[in-house]
Structure 1
Amino acid sequence: MKMNTDSVAEFLREVSLIQRLPSSSLSKIAELLQVEHYVKGEFVIHKGESKGVYFILQGEAEVFVNSDDDIRHEFILKRYDYFGIGVPTSEQQEDVAALSKLTCLVLPSEHCCLLQPKQKTFPPIETILHLDPIEADLFQGITLPSAPMNDMSSRMFGGQFLGHKDEKGFERQEVFMPSVPAPETLLSMEELRERRIIDPRLPKSYRNKVGAAKHVPWPIEIRFCDPSITTNQIKTPPRVRYWLRAKGKLTDDQTLHRCVVAYAIDLVLIGVIANPHRQRGLTMNTLTVNHTMWFHRDVKADDWILFVIESPFAFGARGLVYSQMFNQNRELVVSLVQEGLVRAASTPQTTIKAKY
């Protein structure tokens, strides 16, 4: 028996095992799942006899652990839980029986390879970003969970993420995308770096420093609309405009695209606060205090997005940045505000030694 593929896909998006996979895998899995029904007390699988991976759609199941002396009731599985051969925990070691009327979606064992993340084929940005999925309750289409982001090895930060279920409503846009050169006509960061190394208008010491520095390519491609020809110790206006996009082709998961945008904006954003205050010999320390983003429309992070940044205010070691992002259809897709600490780096105090 088959179910509507869209309904199955919507269910799978709530399963933690599936949330780590690209959307292309989710679609394939949704097409391959088979519906199985069980009555209360009926065994779903016996130890070592699973024919695939079972996702609980409705009802509850109970896991029994066989020992030498007896059979123990270990724990209960509910909607969105999964079990069977093919999940990342080797072979099936327990019996599972229906605790109530039970409906499972079964992925046959020959297709369980779809459950493995294909990280080797991910664009560079997807090897950096990873979002831990959490359970969230919906209230009139809005959910307010808290979720951490990892860099595949260690947790980086936690934040509050407000979600809104898609719905029809009023539409207007009073803010307009500025007139800027097309991204294809602008220089890449790598090309700008090469030009800086040979630009006679820049101090030789600075050019040598840029040339000697180890160049680590970013997973984000950036093209400045008004590239600066000064060093980072010269005052510049508190505004920047540039195009950005992720290198490589991303999956069509909108969550991933929004994570990429959130990651990309911190590469330049807070430094705009410091631009008017730069001077020769001055080193600044910057730190984000508060950061809020509003995603107005779906965003494609692997397509060019215009990032318009302006810092209207700085006082008492703190500064504010406003920013807007536009797609190539000139639609406003993201708005954001960031507050940051910007301080002159303290110089080590000279220790005065007593003379004896």
Structure 2
Amino acid sequence: MHSEPVIEFLGDVPVLQRLPSSSIRKIAQHVVVKHYNSGEYVFQEGKPGGGIYFIWEGEVEVSRTFNADNHDSQVFRWGKFDHFTQSESDMQEDIIALTKLTCLMLPHKYSPLMHPYSIWSADMNLKTCAPAEYILSLDSLDVNTFRGTTLRGAPKSGKVYGGQFMGQALAAASKTVHVHKILHSFHAHFLLAGDINFPIIYQVARLSDLPNFSTRRVNAVQEERVVFFLIASFHREEEGFDHQEPTVPSVPDPEMLLPEHLLEEGVKLPRHHPRTGVYTSTSVPWPTEIRPVDPERYTIHATRHPSISYWLRAKGRLPVDQALHRCVGAYFSDLLFIQISLNPHRRQDIFPSSISLDHSMWFHRDFRADDWLLYVIDSPTAYNARGFCRGQMFNRKGELVLSAMQVGVVRKLKPPATTSKI
């Protein structure tokens, strides 16, 4: 059997979707086709099963008796895309083909492929993996539930960074769709501030699965409260029309620009914190290299145009998995985004504040998040305490790879009270 039809089938097996794409391809190389007639045993108590079985066509009946002294039993019926293996518990188990049955069996010696170190890489090495990959790695609790944390080395400023919510939620959604379907858009809403001291449970709802598209909703839950959610759409690659209207601005190459260390080494500073070159023990490096086109625009007390452009890329090298690169792109997109709508309103005696409300993105072309991308942001309007920003990312060839929009609350705060020393 050719590997592509096998990968096509395995990509729809829910228990396999949470694996790295490379693991699914390796499994496709090692599975063995098994055929059974109706009424024939697949497993029979006392006889070895040989591996992990994935039902390609047909149905099986599973009969379980828990022990010899207890006659309690369970009977299940499983069909296409279900999987099973011989139980290692004390229960007795028989599995019988109810119809003509075809299974793909992964021999036990290859079962470690089912338990990779990371959802992105079967052989992740914490010493060498890119920080962004580490931050966007989740623990799989079941086929629709994942756990993320705010790692000690992840950027934070007293609350969960919005890009972390988006990147991790999209990672969870990506691990519930066919390996050939890639994220093309999402719409996210920030409901409550995330607590960096608690894990985040990402609950995925499989809203729709069509031949070329899939739709997922993801709730991010902390302490039994939904603090963030998004709806994401995935699309299988197709031949189609190709044009691009926006042109990449004429800016210096990133190699000609100086890094912005205050952005790379320290995250959003606390309110009223003076922007100085002194780093504190609480500063956390971004997993990102940043090259601003106009560094002078980063001063916080001067009025300026509501726009900005900067080059950025993930530090280190990411695995070759377009799903991960798009999650990292979403992670990037919240950096210096809604704050740009404050630019025309900055004064020496004004302390503005911004809070993200909703965020939408569209992915147009494949890209590598560990290669330089030019992020061009502008804010056409702010009104009624809401700012609106839009962004575009271009690769080095000038191709538009993604577009983003965000709305947030933008307010003028009272200046901090000063205490007299007299």
TM-score (norm: length of structure 1): 0.82
2:216 to 116, 121, 145: 145
Letter in 1 for 2:16: I
Structure 1 pair 304–148 and aligned structure 2 pair: CA distance change class (3 A): farther
Equivalent in the alignment of 2:103: 104
Amino acid at match of 1:214: T
* CA distance 1:9–1:269, change in 2 (3 Å): same
Rounded Cα–Cα distance in structure 2 between residues aligned with 1:193 and 1:289 = 24
Is the strand fraction higher in 1 or 2?
2
Distance 1:25 1:59, change over 3 A: same
Deviation at 1:235, TM superposition (A): 2.6
**In the alignment, structure 1 residue 207 sits paired with structure 2 residue 276:** yes
8 A contact 2:297–2:308 mirrored in 1: no
What's the Cα RMSD here? 3.1
In 2, distance between residues paired with 1:107 and 1:319?
53
Cα distance in 2, alignment partners of residues 304 and 259 from structure 1: 16
Tell me the equivalent position of 2:50.
Answer: 51
- Taking a change above 3 Å as real, the CA distance of residues 280 and 50 of structure 1, as seen in their structure-2 partners, is farther
Could you tell me which residue of structure 1 aligns to residue 343 of structure 2?
Answer: 275
Aligned mates of 2:313, 2:90 — CA distance in 1: 43
Q: Does 1:14 align with 2:12?
A: yes
Question: Displacement, 1:216?
Answer: 0.8
Q: Give the direction of change, closer, same or farther, for the CA distance of 1:192–1:299 in structure 2 (3 Å limit).
A: closer
User: Is 1:342 aligned to 2:386, yes or no?
Assistant: no
Deviations 1:86-142 (A, max 9, x none): xxx966953322232221111111111111222343532233224142545444733
| In 1: Cα distance, 2:326 partner to 2:23 partner | 19
The residue aligned with 2:73 is 72
The aligned residue for residue 123 of structure 1 is: 130
Distance 1:187 1:228 in 2: 12
SS at match of 2:4: helix
Retained in 2: the 8 A contact 1:23–1:251?
no
* CA offsets 1:134-166 (integer angstroms, 9 cap, x no match): 545444733333234689xx9863211123332
C-alpha contact (below 8 Å) 2:56/2:103 kept by paired residues? yes
1:289 maps to 357
8 A Cα contact 1:20 1:117, kept in partner:
no
Quote the Cα distance in structure 2 between the aligned partners of 1:191 and 1:233: 16
SS at match of 2:398: coil
Q: Tell me, which stretches of 5 or more residues in structure 1 are unaligned?
A: 195-204, 350-356
What amino acid is aligned across from residue 286 of structure 1 in structure 2?
S
Percent identity reads 41
| Offset at residue 71 of structure 1 (A) | 6.7
Larger Rg: 1
Q: How does 1:83-232 map to 2 (within 5 A)?
A: 83-84=84-85, 94-119=93-118, 120-121=124-125, 122-129=129-136, 130-132=171-173, 133=176, 135=206, 137-139=208-210, 141-148=212-219, 157-190=228-261, 206-207=275-276, 210-212=278-280, 214-228=282-296, 231-232=299-300
Distance in 2, matches of 1:193 and 1:142, equals 37
The code of the aligned residue for 2:79 comes to: K
Contact kept? 1:225, 1:242, Cα under 8 Å: yes
- Distance (Å, rounded) in 1 between the aligned partners of 2:389 and 2:132: 25
- Secondary structure of 1:233's counterpart equals coil
Partner in structure 2 of residue 28 of structure 1: 26
- Answer yes or no: is the 8 Å Cα contact 1:84–1:92 preserved in 2: no
Worse-superposed segment, 74-83 or 226-235: 226-235
Residue 259 (structure 2) pairs with residue 252 (structure 1): no
Q: Following TM superposition, by how much is the alpha carbon of 1:213 offset from its aligned partner in structure 2, in angstroms?
A: 5.4
- Give the distance between the partners of 2:316 and 2:94, measured in 1 at CA: 44
Alpha-carbon contact 1:62-1:73 (below 8 Å) kept? no
Query: Deviation per CA, 1:259-287, whole angstroms, max 9, x where unpaired?
Result: 11111111221111112222335333322
Which amino acid letter does the alignment assign opposite residue 292 of structure 1? S
Cα distance in 1 for partners of 2:402, 2:31 equals 37
Instruction: State the distance in 2 between where 1:278 and 1:304 align.
Output: 30
Equivalent residue for 2:187? Answer: none
Aligned pair count reads 332
Distance 1:312 1:74 in 2: 62
Q: Which amino acid aligns with 1:123?
A: A
Task: Go from structure 1 to structure 2 and tell me whether the alpha carbon gap of 1:305 and 1:206 turns closer, same or farther (over 3 Å shift).
Answer: closer
CA change 1:32–1:42 in 2 (3 A) is same
- Where structure 2 has 5 or more consecutive residues not aligned to the other structure, the ranges are 119-123, 137-170, 177-204, 266-273, 418-422
> Paired residue for 1:263?
331
User: C-alpha deviations, 1:203-245, integer Å up to 9, x for none?
Assistant: xx6436x333532112233222222375423333211111222
Partner SS state of residue 267, structure 1:
coil
| Equivalent pair of 2:263/2:286 in contact (CA under 8 Å) | no
Secondary structure in structure 1 of the residue aligned to 2:279: helix
> 1:334 is aligned with what amino acid?
L
Alpha-carbon displacement from aligned partner over 1:27-79 (angstroms, at most 9, x marks no partner): 21111111111222222224573322111212222222113344734322222
- Residue in 2 that maps onto 1:42: 40
Q: Which amino acid aligns with 2:276?
A: R
1:326–1:332 CA contact under 8 A, matched in 2: yes
